[in-house]
């Protein structure tokens, strides 16, 4: 038996055939074509599942963008990047179409569950996941389950305010965490200082070569990042925070900076057992986390 795993992003859909132990046996990707709407998207999902029709399929596991009620597999809010996506009960539609069990959960929550199953959170029943990307996303695993909250939007760490009257955020507030500590924020800070568009790697390469402007920018950005992280640590008192996103390619070089900066902001009992780890599953975390949820749904894990 195998599982079809699908990760729907605003730009690309990643998919694969996954074993019950989480090996990715085959994979591919296709454009989301978000502007063509949800029916076009559903037809793409049908094509993906049918492409594995020769296999014995246990179910369909979907990780998706937006605010999702994973308990019923319905999109309940978010930006309407995919026209018609909000309000879609994808699980009901997939289960009716294929007569197979299906799950749908938010992509950051899926990433957290993927890391719990096979990555940096292996063996941990409680931990926090935070993703540094265009924005900052969060997932809280409590007693082996995702903390969903009353309307399934818990752990939106990106909108904790860290600067009073700061930069305007898309959410309506000013000074949100993700305006200062996301990868986008790092690139903005570099552009403001130099007038040049640079990606994260270029910024870190310059900093490592001794560039004083980049040293100052990365130091400020790390300071913003650990301001938010310390707030999260004070709320949850976790023993593990898993950090994901492209910047984690910097490895221990960056992890050491985070640890040093965070340590100065936490009281003894908050940092006593706290470990920061970088995520281990990369772009596959969403698909694997959705697979973990499906296995739970059908009682195989």
What is the CB neighbour count within 10 angstroms for residue 140? 23
Looking at 115-123, 151-159, 260-268, 281-289, which segment touches Zn ion (CB under 5 A)?
Answer: 151-159
- Closest distance to Zn ion from the beta carbon of 141 (Å): 23
Q: Judged by CB under 5 A, how many residues of this single chain contact Zn ion? A: 5
Looking at 64-72, 78-86, 88-96, 159-167, which segment touches Zn ion (CB under 5 A)?
Answer: 159-167
Looking at 7-15, 121-129, 147-155, 168-176, which segment touches Zn ion (CB under 5 A)?
Answer: 168-176
Looking at 35-43, 68-76, 127-135, 152-160, which segment touches Zn ion (CB under 5 A)?
Answer: 152-160
Give the sheet arrangement for strand 12-19, strand by strand: 24-31, 12-19, 2-8, 57-64, 102-106
176 binds Zn ion (CB under 5 A): yes
Give the residue with the Cβ less far from Zn ion, 111 or 176. Answer: 176
- Closest distance to Zn ion from the beta carbon of 73 (Å): 27
Choosing from 169, 198, 255, 298, the residue that interacts with Zn ion (CB under 5 A) is 169
Looking at 135-143, 171-179, 215-223, 277-285, which segment touches Zn ion (CB under 5 A)?
Answer: 171-179
Residues 14-33 that bind Zn ion (CB under 5 A): none
76 binds Zn ion (CB under 5 A): no
Cβ-based neighbours of 55, under 8 Å, separated by 6 or more:
2, 17
- Closest distance to Zn ion from the beta carbon of 128 (Å): 19
Q: In the stretch 190-209, what mask flags binding to Zn ion with x, by CB under 5 A?
A: --------------------
Give the residue with the Cβ less far from Zn ion, 93 or 173. Answer: 173
Choosing from 14, 44, 116, 159, the residue that interacts with Zn ion (CB under 5 A) is 159
- Closest distance to Zn ion from the beta carbon of 171 (Å): 3
Write the DSSP string, the chain.
-EEEEEEE-SSEEEEEEEETTS-EEEEEEEE--GGGHHHHHHHHHHHHHHTTTTS-EEEEEEEESSEEETTTTEEEES---STT-TT-BHHHHHHHHHSS-EEEEEHHHHHHHHHHHHSTTTT-SSEEEEEESSSEEEEEEETTEE---TTS-TT-GGGSB-STT-SB-TTS-BSBTHHHHSHHHHHHHHHHHHS----HHHHHHHHHTT-HHHHHHHHHHHHHHHHHHHHHHHHH--SEEEEESGGGGGTHHHHHHHHHHHHTTS-HHHHSS-EEEE-SSGGGHHHHHHHHHHHHHTT--
- Closest distance to Zn ion from the beta carbon of 175 (Å): 8
171 binds Zn ion (CB under 5 A): yes
Q: What is the dihedral of CA 297, 125, 23, 102, to 10 degrees?
A: 20
Give the residue with the Cβ less far from Zn ion, 162 or 169. Answer: 169
Looking at 20-28, 64-72, 156-164, 281-289, which segment touches Zn ion (CB under 5 A)?
Answer: 156-164
Give the residue with the Cβ less far from Zn ion, 173 or 275. Answer: 173
Chain residues that interact with Zn ion, rule: CB under 5 A: 159, 169, 171, 173, 176
């Amino acid at each position: 038996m195998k599982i079809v795993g699908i990760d729907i992003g605003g730009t690309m859909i990643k998919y694969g055939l996954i074993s019950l132990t989480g090996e990715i046996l085959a994979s591919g990707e296709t454009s989301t074509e978000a502007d063509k709407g949800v029916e076009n998207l559903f037809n793409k999902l049908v094509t993906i599942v049918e492409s594995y029709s020769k296999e014995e399929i246990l179910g369909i596991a979907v990780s998706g963008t937006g605010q999702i009620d994973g308990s019923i597999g319905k999109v309940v809010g978010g930006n309407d990047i995919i026209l018609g996506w909000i309000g879609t009960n994808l699980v009901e539609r997939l289960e009716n179409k294929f007569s197979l069990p299906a799950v749908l959960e938010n992509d950051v929550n899926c990433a957290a569950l993927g890391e719990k199953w096979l990555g940096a959170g292996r063996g941990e029943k409680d931990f926090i996941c935070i993703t540094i990307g265009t924005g900052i996303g969060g997932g809280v695993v409590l007693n082996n389950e995702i903390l969903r909250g009353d309307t399934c939007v818990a752990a939106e760490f990106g909108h904790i305010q860290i600067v009073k009257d700061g930069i305007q955020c898309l959410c309506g507030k000013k000074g949100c965490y993700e305006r200062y500590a996301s990868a986008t924020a790092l690139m903005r800070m570099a552009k403001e200082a130099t007038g040049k568009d640079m990606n994260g790697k270029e910024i870190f390469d310059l900093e490592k070569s001794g560039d004083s402007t980049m040293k100052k920018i990365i130091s400020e950005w790390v300071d913003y990042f650990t301001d938010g992280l310390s707030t999260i640590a004070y709320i949850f008192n976790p023993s593990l925070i898993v950090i994901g996103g492209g910047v984690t390619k910097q490895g221990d070089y960056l992890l050491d900076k985070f640890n040093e900066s965070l340590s100065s902001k936490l009281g003894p009992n908050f940092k006593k057992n706290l470990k920061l780890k970088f995520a281990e599953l990369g772009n596959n975390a969403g698909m694997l986390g959705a697979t973990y949820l499906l296995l739970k749904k059908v009682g195989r894990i």
